[in-house]
Amino acid sequence: MSFVGKVWKVLVGVKDALVLLFMLLFFVMLFGILSARPSAGQVREGALLIDLDGSVVEEKSALDPISALLSGTAPVKEYRERDIVRALDAAATDDRIKAVVFDLTTFTGGGQVHLTAIGEAMDRVRAAKKPVLTYAIGYADDHMMLAAHASEVWLDPQGAALVTGPGGSYLYYADLLNKLGVNAHIFRAGEYKSATEPYSRSDMSPEARENVGALYAALWEEWQANVKKARPQANLAEVTGDTAAFLAGGNGDLADAALKAGLVDKLGDRVQFGERVAAIAGKDRFDETPGAFAASELGAYLADIPAPSGGKKIGVVTVAGEIVDGDAGPGTAGGARIADVLDAALDDDLAALVVRIDSPGGSVTASEEIRRAVERFRARKIPVAVSFANIAASGGYWVATAGERIFAQPETITGSIGVFAVLPSFEQTAAKFGVNADGYRTTPLSGQPDVLAGFSPEIEAVLQAGVASTYRDFLARVSKARGLPVARVDAIGGGRVWDGGTARQLGLVDQFGGLDDALAWAAAKAGAKEGEWHPVFLGEKADGYDPLIRRLIASETGAAAARASGTPFAIVARRQDELAARLSRDIARLTGTPGVQALCLECPGAQEAAQTPDAPRGAFASLARLILAAQ
């Protein structure tokens, strides 16, 4: 055989081997996708198991598969509140479901409005004579808000249950900036717009303390009322007001103290808990592991529940997370993305539209872009309702001015009608290192704003005028939408943050109610009777490769479980991480946030909802970024 012929046979062999390899990889990937995605065929008689190994949100964030695979980690899982409620309501009347089980071991929390809605759905399951059981290694405030609605609350004997109430520390950087020679130029409208205080003060202003204190007090009152009603045997007064007596009740043992205080019903490990569930819902015929019980997981059960259809279509667009310019999201409210979704739906023959908002606000230009897109529905005489979730403040409220009727809950955080901008300059830092700026200017605004030479009085006046003008626009929009005089809006605005109950009294909200109430109102406004309409969630996409990517990444679970276990030390570790993340975001805002912001950073939970694009990872990386910028 000639040399060329031998080479040819080798090349053909390599080609065949590669074809077989790629076919094998394809079928492995296909099997992985099919096995990772929930299937309705996985539903069986037994318990409905809701393993909340993550957080409850309004809209799930998109998982970047490349970043996840390269880093070997994935973000904490997210579960939509409406999915959990839908599953619970279906389970209440499903003969296959004998009990509902919540595993809260790695639960990382959720907004008060969302947790209230889930708790109410748990009550409906219990009203259908079906037990609801929860298990966790530790219970914190958010865990207890759900567990209070269970018929049996189980705690691991090595765990703890702690209720701390809302509140905590904010970070202030004025002294740090002075040491670095960084001049933070603050432009704001509204004396209560305290989002800029971290860059100008070393402590909380009296105005901010007054406003945030009133808000926290209202939220704390609502939390206690909810838990006390659902679990009257819980001695919250002792747990939150007399720590010594609480600990003494358990002779220093945190689990026994929680049991004595009525926070939990049973102490037992996972095997004992599983045996209890098996006695109610049946044993698992395919799993002989100790503590195994027959169960259907949430994802599979949701796949088995038919989505409502028929009748008129009521569109729902979600504005969740920080409002930013561009196509960001889901999970972050990219103004261009949401406006495109709304414009595409203009030709979808929608009978009405509901704007669901769970956002602390953000970019004014992006907020206005979304508002204008909603207005285009109003221009076509399509009814528009607005539904507030946990937070609908600042830019979130800006968007809401396009609606006809606003629904909120008593626990909703709203208001924060005010705007600001923060821009740094480094003239003092530059001088320390012998860097001087000089040049020729044709006007006082030439080369301004100059981050090295400093801002001229003229540019300072221009920037402040721009912020003031934007605030006047904000007041005018609220005045027109709510039928209130501008002076009245200014009096209740100024950056103040309100709970939903107070906001309703002030006229910023029309009525209490959740998303279902807003949908019902919009449907009635469109002339559709009950049962003659169904919601359509605009721009919603399937999880795609999310389940498969998470299955491939094993390192995610260990760290998440350790931090979310709920033990006192794990709670401290989580809060250290939260402070570090806040430091990262705050400094990133100073050095990289463009434009005027209608953003409520002082709102409880807003730091979790407000994600800064391209923020550096970790506190030390943020400090390094600021110091490098200063140098």
Q: How far apart are CA 269 and CA 139, in angstroms?
A: 14
Residues near 115 by beta carbon (within 8 Å), at least 6 away in sequence: 56, 142, 145, 146
Tokens 């950087």 -> residue: 173
Alpha carbons 232 and 225: distance in angstroms, whole number: 10
Q: Which amino acid is at 432?
A: K
Q: E strands along 293-441, which residues?
A: 295-297, 312-320, 323-324, 333-334, 352-359, 361-363, 384-393, 405-408, 413-415, 419-425
The angle subtended at Cα 10 by Cα 6 and Cα 11, nearest 5°, is 115
Catalytically annotated residue among 60, 130, 193, 312: 193
In sequence order, the 6+-apart residues with CB closer than 8 A to the CB of 138 are 155, 156, 159, 160, 161, 162, 565, 566, 567, 568, 570, 571
State the Rg of the chain over Cα.
27
Residue 394 falls in the annotated catalytic set: yes
Q: Which of 359, 367, 394, 456 is catalytic?
A: 394
First to last CA, the chain: 71
Q: Which two tokens stand for residue 572?
A: 């401290």
Q: Is 100 helix (H, G, I), strand (E, B) or coil?
A: strand
Q: Which residues contact 359 (CB under 8 A, 6 or more apart)?
A: 319, 320, 321, 322, 323, 333, 391, 392, 393, 395, 396, 399, 609
Q: Are 422 and 590 in contact (CB under 8 A)?
A: yes
| C-alpha span between 278 and 295 (Å, rounded) | 9
Exposure string for 614-623, b = 16+ CB within 10 A, e = fewer: ebbeebebbb
Active site residue 381: no
Where does 398-501 show beta strands of DSSP type E? 405-408, 413-415, 419-425, 497-499
CA distance 501 to 141: 21
Burial class of residue 43 (count of CB atoms within 10 Å of its CB; 0-12, 13-18, 19+): buried
Cα–Cα distance for residue pair 94/87, rounded to 1 Å: 10
Evaluate the omega torsion of the peptide bond into residue 198 and state whether it is cis, within 30 degrees of 0.
no
Helix axes of 112-127 and 206-230: crossing angle, nearest 10 degrees: 10
Q: How many residues does the chain have?
A: 631
Specify which residues 324 forms β-bridges with. 334
Maximal C-alpha separation, the chain? 97
So which residues are the catalytic ones? 193, 394
